[in-house]
Amino acid sequence: MYNQTAPAEFALEKRRSNKQGVIESLFVWRRDGGQLVQLDWYPRQSIVNHINDGHTYMTVNIKEGKWIQGADVHVVKTAYGEYLRTDRNQIAADNLDNLPEG
């Protein structure tokens, strides 16, 4: 789960996938203290690169103006490429804690 002693810098709320179910873009928020600042949709690969550059992400659920922190997001490298996952399983697929389509 999300580690409150080392808060993530960014949060992922929604995803957009292609017809094959592959995530193409994610809706990103920037954490500013206890608040989230709305950013925009970013390509999946940009998020992978940002995490590889040392930035931290978590999933988030936003309802009725309040946000609930989710799981930490990691990049997992496999023989087939890099994937975004909320666990560290070396599986060649994205797994983002059931983020809804947006």
The answer as to whether 16 is a domain residue is yes
Query: Amino acid identity of 97?
Result: D
pTM for this one? 0.88
CA distances in angstroms from 84 to 31, 32, 44, 61, 75, listed in the order given: 19, 23, 8, 17, 5
pLDDT, one tens digit per residue, over 17-36 is 999 888 999 999 999 888 89
Structure tokens at 91: 């599986």
Q: Which residue has the higher pLDDT, 6 or 38?
A: 38
The answer as to whether 34 is a domain residue is yes
What domain range includes position 71?
10-85
Number of domains, the chain? 1
Residue with tokens 């399983």: 89
The answer as to whether 90 is a domain residue is no
The answer as to whether 41 is a domain residue is yes
Check: CB of residue 15 under 8 Å from CB of residue 23: yes
pLDDT, one tens digit per residue, over 37-92 is 999 999 999 999 999 999 999 999 998 888 888 999 999 999 999 999 998 788 88
Q: How far is CA 41 from the centre of its chain?
A: 12
